[in-house]
Amino acid sequence: MDRRDFLVSLAAAAGAASLAGCRGGPPPLPPGELLGTSLALGHRLQSAGFAPPSESRKVPVVIVGAGVAGLAAGWKLARAGFSDFLLVELENEAGGNSRAGRNAVSAYPWGAHYLPLPNREALAVRELLAELGVLLGDPRAPRPVYDERYLCATPQERLYRNGRWQEGLLPQTGVSTAERGQYQRFADLIEGFKRRRDDAGRAAFALPMALSSRALDLLALDRISMRDWLLAQGLDSPQLHWYVNYACRDDYGTASAAVSAWAGIHYFACRTGEAQNAGNETVLTAPEGNAWLVSGMLRSISAHAGERLLSGALAFRVAGGERGAGTGPLAVDLWLASEQRTLRLLADQVIWAAPLFLVPHVFAGHAALKAAAASYSYAPWLVANLTLSRFPDERAGAPPAWDNVLYDSAGLGYVVATHQQMRLWRQATVLTFYRTFDALSPQDGRAALRDTPRAVWAEQILAELERPHANIRQVTTHLDVFRNGHAMARPLPGLIWGEPRQRFAVDGERLRFAHADVSGFSLFEEAQYRGVLAAERTLRRLGVRFSSSLG
């Protein structure tokens, strides 16, 4: 779909929304808000014009960005007994893509909503889960026990296709024997990647990705698209391609024809976590999505180091930190929007845990890093939360699941916030609906997010959900829409193992990068690993002793 066709579809939705109150038409759109990241404040970076600093403050370690990576860095510093750091966050609350909302019915996610059972390599994730009381016993155990309340209740996922629901996401009805043979061939290839180890004992596709094999044939996968790799294996089944494309859209906000084959295979082959009391495909989740992990890190930081978060602060200039630039402190200038003034932080060490697309706008000097950041592309994203007075009517087929996907849909489907309490059978619930813009260029997707009214999004979402739920409009009492123009880095061919990304993975003398962007794609495990790694490197620079969380 090009931008013109997309705008025509928006106009049609706008027309439907305007007719909602007409006699004989659908019920009026439910009330709600149009929310999102701090667009106006963030865009001030493009116009500059900030006041000179009214105050300077010395802080040994500054962490810019309090998403998962920044919080993980603070969590590790605090657990090591180092408390002289400050977390700086543009938004009014921490959490990044793992924030959540809450109403009288339930908590609900505004972004990431699950965590797969962590691999043995993801030791830092396991340590965090153990600290939060969700992993019971030794974090290094091959098959730990997990708190049943966080193990996703069954049924976990289903697919709506041809007017019926089916269990699982791989299409089953009307699939030929030849296509089923391709399903098995794909599964065998992925299983081979899961089992493969190189001479150093590294997994072909590890999580965190930095622990993956560097075998040349594997790295070469980063130079082609996931779609082209499937075709090169003789896999041309339309249903298999839909499934793989859905997976790429779901994790990367980008279609399989544009995703690196290395990243696409990583999605399927990297997750090898096991549990004593759950199957390998089980995920950890909660009504608020991954916000419980954010809250846990914040509590831990506060318990070990006190209040360390400065929110509503836009970092608009970072100066110093280049080789040969002297030994003085790095200057981090913050615009405090609520106070309408600039605060300058003078730091011995800086951990940049904000998205990398900001680097060219913020850093003074650092030409090579600015050029590297320019190689990144970001996927826009839309999330809507629909509060329902009761569960909507169902079409035939599989029963309600936690993750509910619509075949050949602009959206990715929805998750049910109250699914973990299904056994209590609460009538009211919240559905969290996700949509990507992979049919548009990222620039056009961001323009659509910026310019489209909430009523138009609400009409499109309700029309889409009417396919499986005829009475969705009648039972929806509230509908909020959340926009994120730069939701995640897109792992296009050449990004993962290209030189620009790897520039951000090195250990600088006083500056290091810790966002999930440093891995090339947005996963909780990657963001947490980058944050913990940056914190441990910082502790070494400061001469602070600690026990590593990275194995």
Per-domain boundaries in the chain: 3-30+378-489, 49-100+288-376+496-542, 179-280
CA-closest candidate to residue 94, choices 404, 285, 308, 252 = 308
Q: How many Å apart are CA 405 and CA 384, to the nearest integer?
A: 15
Q: How many Å apart are CA 527 and CA 20, to the nearest integer?
A: 43
Antiparallel, parallel or unpaired: β 107-109 and 100-102 = antiparallel
Q: Which residues of the chain have pLDDT under 50?
A: 7-8, 19-23, 324-325
CA-closest candidate to residue 332, choices 356, 352, 305 = 352
Pick the CATH number of 49-100+288-376+496-542 from 3.50.50.60, 3.10.350.10, 3.10.129.10, 2.60.40.420: 3.50.50.60
Q: 344, 333 in Cβ contact below 8 A? A: yes
Alpha helices in 155-252 (DSSP H): 177-195, 216-219, 226-232, 238-252
**DSSP per residue, 247-294:** HHHHHHSS-TTTSBHHHHHHHHHS----BTTB-TT-EE--TTTTHHHH
358: Cβ–Cβ under 8 A, 6 or more apart, which residues? Answer: 45, 373
Q: 73, 63 in Cβ contact below 8 A? A: yes
Helix axes 442-451, 3-18, angle to 10 degrees: 20
CA-closest candidate to residue 208, choices 514, 527, 548 = 527
Q: How many Å apart are CA 391 and CA 472, to the nearest integer?
A: 9
**pLDDT per residue as tens digits for the range 134-188:** 999 999 999 999 999 999 999 999 999 999 999 999 999 999 999 999 999 999 9
Enter the CATH code of domain 3-30+378-489. 3.90.660
pLDDT score for 422: 60
pLDDT score for 49: 82
Structure tokens at 254: 């980008």
**pLDDT per residue as tens digits for the range 369-401:** 999 999 999 999 999 999 999 999 999 999 999
Structure tokens at 455: 């009523």
Q: How many Å apart are CA 111 and CA 35, to the nearest integer?
A: 13
Do 3-30+378-489 and 49-100+288-376+496-542 come out as alike in CATH topology? no
pLDDT score for 16: 52
Alpha helices in 440-509 (DSSP H): 442-451, 454-465, 472-475, 499-503
